[in-house]
Amino acid sequence: MPVTRKRTAANVRRGLFAALVALAGCATPATPAAQPARDAAAAPRPVVVISDFHMGLGRRADAQWDPKEDFRWTGALRGFLDEVTRAHGEAVDLVIAGDFLELWQPPADIPCVGNGADLGCTVAEMKEIVQRVVAAHSADAAALAAFAGRGANKVHVIPGNHDSALVIPEIWRIVADAMAAPGGRVALVADGVWTSADGKVLVEHGHQIGSDVNRYADWPTVTARQDGQAFVVRPWGELFVQRLFNAEEEQYPIIDNLSPETAGARYRMADRGLWRSAGDVARFVAFNVFETSARQKGAALGREPDAGVPCTRAEAEALGHRLVLGALDPKDPFRIQAEADTEEARQLRSALDAQVKAMPDQDLQDLCARQVDATTLGAAIESKFVPRAEVIRKHLRERLARHPDMTVFVYGHTHQLEEAWTLSVAKERAVTVLNSGAFQRLVDERGYLARVEALGIAPEEGLRRIALESLAPCYGAVVVRYDGGEPKAETRLWHMPEAGKGEFVSPGSRKCE
């Protein structure tokens, strides 16, 4: 079932390490779309936030779905849009909070060799990819265009890390033409931050929070020129997906439909061993710690960190790879293989030693506070440092400087639906935080293990045997209504089989297991 969070944000970032951000080049960003003018007299409009469709290449020439295609749910999308209209009328702001398109998985005939690690597709290559993706999802684009054409509805598209190229005007034009609606009712939010007309609701994708491995150094600038060509900047997270995930989906179709994403990677490793690049795996192991640490999941948000520091930098660096591996369960496949007496594992441990030395102090302290083993620093130090809320708090303080009326913050990116929780951001200022999950079919690790147990197979075998269509037909959303002039937000799941009827259900519904 989709992961649901209540008063926790263990996946607030897809990785924490600034040292992992590999970006290069500068270019002129697309002109940001104008934000709604403040109009205190205007009646507040309902806001519905959905994200992370990851619409890709669609069907192959043989009419079968491309194994990498995650969005196969046109019927559910149409039903969802009809229900939004029925429940909220025809003056709704529908916000697509990033990763609408999947542009990190190019077709085989567009290799996007790039220029070094930091520059991926050329703009010309990306334009062709977008044309193919839009053509593959013409019915989905038509459904959104029809919604935008009803009454006074509007559709706002925020670029995410997987579709950052949408900020390039010639590429956005392809999408805009496919979702043509009267009066400019489909608009790109080119700076990545959408706010409601009263400024109280702020929505973004989430890849710019903290030191995410998918962060862009000069967002929303996503292009750079080299050797007379314009390239799309490629963060390290994209490079990892392209090198190590894309090829895996041919054999493991749901590897990136497990939540968190690192769960699929761990079971794949249990099936076939470590990947080829020790450096990349070292980064991903560190990323995995922050996504799946059991201690992290129990951390209480909203709490200020204690004054005590769990460990000094010298202590953390002396532990090296043991600091990272010590935060993983002893039965974790990453850890088992990293601790093995093999040349491959020794290379990985060496890469982790270097990774630890490159981490900022706060990330080292966070790892110190996550130790599962008493043989390193011990679990007792966990209570001294709970930085999870601090990441969002720092981010929202920066947002409040430009959007002082914000009281509701919605993001996506992590694919993990997050129920509303309140964070004290500044003196006498609290913000309600929610995550829209993903508008695609996912299964959390607990639900996945229950499925493979029922099938009587090993978890790694399940990656090959379980079909995407067999996952629960549930899709995340955040709905914001106004009560007495104040926004009231809640997370919901849209449950609808492709050939059935749809309904909104609460997070945690048995229908979504």
Per-residue pLDDT tens over the stretch 468-494: 999 999 999 999 999 999 999 999 999
C-alpha angle 488-490-492 in degrees, rounded to nearest 5: 150
Of 279 and 50, the structure prediction assigns the larger pLDDT to: 50
Q: What is the DSSP string of 235-300?
A: -HHHHHIIIIIGGGGGT-TTTTTEESHHHHHHHHHHHH---S-HHHHHHHHHHHHHHH-HHHHTPP
Dist CA 430 CA 35 (whole Å):
23
Given the DSSP bridges, would you call strands 408-411 and 429-435 parallel, antiparallel or unpaired? Answer: parallel
Q: Is the pLDDT of residue 260 over 90?
A: no
Query: Which pair of tokens denotes residue 245?
Result: 């995930």
Name the pLDDT band for 139 (thresholds 50, 70, 90). very high
Query: Measuring CA to CA, how many Å separate 361 from each of 228, 297, 316?
Result: 40, 21, 9
pTM of this prediction exceeds 0.85: no
Instruction: Give the single-character DSSP code of 18.
Output: G
pLDDT of 64 reads 94
Dist CA 407 CA 429 (whole Å):
8
- Say which residue the tokens 């297991």 belong to: 513
- Residue 262: phi, psi to the nearest 5? -70, -20
Query: Measuring CA to CA, how many Å separate 33 from each of 88, 93, 152, 192, 198?
Result: 25, 15, 19, 9, 17
Q: What is the DSSP string of 442-479?
A: -EEHHHHHHHHHHHT--HHHHHHH--GGGS--EEEEEE
Mean pLDDT of the chain: 81
Dist CA 431 CA 44 (whole Å):
18
Which whole number is the average pLDDT over 83-97? 97
Dist CA 113 CA 130 (whole Å):
17
pLDDT digits 0-9 by tens, 157-216: 999 999 999 999 999 999 999 998 778 899 999 999 999 999 999 999 999 988 777 889
pLDDT of 312 reads 84
Measured from the Cβ of residue 314, the count of other Cβ atoms closer than 10 Å reads: 7
